[in-house]
Structure 1
Amino acid sequence: MWMLVALLAAGTVPAATAAAPQVETRDIANFWIAYDAIRAETDPVRRKALINTLYIGKGTPGLHALMRARGYTDDQYVAAIDAWPRYWASVRPLTGRAFAATAPLEADLATLSRLYPALRPAGITYAIGVLRTGGTTLDDKVLIGAELALGDDSVDVSELPEPLQTRLRTFYASQPFHNNGQNNIHEYIHTQQAEAGDTLAQYALREGVAELVAELVTGKKPDLPLYVYGPAHEAELKARFQADRRGNDYHDWLYNSSNNRFGVSDLGYYVGYRIASAYYAAQPDKATAIATLLELRYDDVQAVDAVIERSGYLR
Structure 2
Amino acid sequence: MRNTFYLLLVILVLACSTPKSDQVFVHSDISNFWNAYDSIRLTKDSLKQLDLLNRLFIDKASEGQKAMIEVRNYTPEEYLEAIESYPEFWESIRPNTLKAETHNKEIEKGILKLKDIYPDLQAADIYYTMGVFRSPGTGFDNFVLIGSEFALGDLHTQTKEFTGARSHIKNYYKIDPEKNIQFLSVHEYVHTQQKDAVNNILSQCLREGVADFVASLASGQISPFPAFVFGPAHNERVRAKFEDEMFNFRAGRNWFWNDDNNEFGASDMGYYVGYAIAKGYYEKASDKALAIKEMIELDYTDEPQVEKIVDGSAYFTTSLEELFQKYEAKRPQVVGVEPMENHGQSIDPKLSRITIEFSEPMDQRFRNFDYGPLGQEASIQISNVIGFSKDRKSLTFEIQPLESDKQYQLTIGNGFMNDKGFPLKPYLIDFKTGTK
Partner of 2:395: none
Instruction: Say which of 140, 143, 153 aligns to 2:142.
Output: 140
Partner of 2:266: 264
Deviation, 1:291, is 0.4
Q: Is the 8 A contact 1:122 1:188 kept in 2?
A: yes
Deviation, 1:222, is 2.7
Q: Write the distance in 1 (CA, Å) between the matches of 2:133 and 2:307.
A: 34
Partner of 1:63: 65
Q: Write the distance in 1 (CA, Å) between the matches of 2:95 and 2:299.
A: 41
Q: Is the 8 A contact 1:201 1:304 kept in 2?
A: no
* Bigger helix share: 1
Q: Write the distance in 2 (CA, Å) between the matches of 1:20 and 1:273.
A: 29
Deviation, 1:303, is 3.3
Deviation, 1:300, is 4.1
Q: Deviations over 1:145-181 (max 9, x none)?
A: 001001111111111133532x332221111100110
Q: Is the 8 A contact 1:202 1:301 kept in 2?
A: no
Call closer, same or farther: CA 1:192–1:218 in 2, change over 3 Å: same
Partner of 2:170: 169
Q: Write the distance in 2 (CA, Å) between the matches of 1:194 and 1:221.
A: 23
Q: Write the distance in 1 (CA, Å) between the matches of 2:29 and 2:140.
A: 17
Partner of 1:307: 309
* Alignment RMSD: 1.6
- If asked which structure has higher relative contact order (CA below 8 Å, sep 6+), I would say 1
Deviation, 1:101, is 2.1
Which residue identity is paired with 1:291?
K
Q: Write the distance in 1 (CA, Å) between the matches of 2:284 and 2:20.
A: 40
Q: Deviations over 1:201-248 (max 9, x none)?
A: 100111000011011111101322111111111011001111111233
Q: Write the distance in 2 (CA, Å) between the matches of 1:129 and 1:67.
A: 7
Partner of 1:126: 128
Which residue identity is paired with 2:190?
I
Partner of 2:196: 195
Call closer, same or farther: CA 1:18–1:287 in 2, change over 3 Å: closer
Which residue identity is paired with 2:214?
V
Which residue identity is paired with 2:200?
T
Q: Is the 8 A contact 1:101 1:180 kept in 2?
A: yes
Partner of 2:291: 289
Partner of 1:13: none
Q: Is the 8 A contact 1:25 1:127 kept in 2?
A: yes
Q: Is the 8 A contact 2:21 2:108 kept in 1?
A: no
Larger Rg: 2
Call closer, same or farther: CA 1:121–1:90 in 2, change over 3 Å: same
Q: Write the distance in 1 (CA, Å) between the matches of 2:286 and 2:136.
A: 35
3-state SS of paired residue (2:146): strand
Aligned length: 298
- TM-score (ref. length: structure 1): 0.91
Partner of 1:255: 257
User: Which residues in structure 2 correspond to 1:220-239 (within 5 Å)?
Assistant: 220-239=221-240
3-state SS of paired residue (1:124): strand
Moved more, 78-87 or 61-70: 78-87
3-state SS of paired residue (2:300): coil
Deviation, 1:105, is 2.5
* Bigger strand share: 2
Which residue identity is paired with 2:106?
P
Q: Write the distance in 1 (CA, Å) between the matches of 2:74 and 2:23.
A: 27
User: Which residues in structure 2 correspond to 1:33-112 (within 5 Å)?
Assistant: 33-112=35-114
Which residue identity is paired with 2:140?
L
Call closer, same or farther: CA 1:298–1:271 in 2, change over 3 Å: same
Deviation, 1:18, is 9.9
Q: Write the distance in 1 (CA, Å) between the matches of 2:135 and 2:111.
A: 22
Which residue identity is paired with 1:83?
S
Q: Write the distance in 1 (CA, Å) between the matches of 2:290 and 2:141.
A: 24
Q: Write the distance in 2 (CA, Å) between the matches of 1:301 and 1:247.
A: 17
Q: Is the 8 A contact 2:202 2:246 kept in 1?
A: yes
Q: Is the 8 A contact 1:192 1:294 kept in 2?
A: yes
Deviation, 1:261, is 2.5
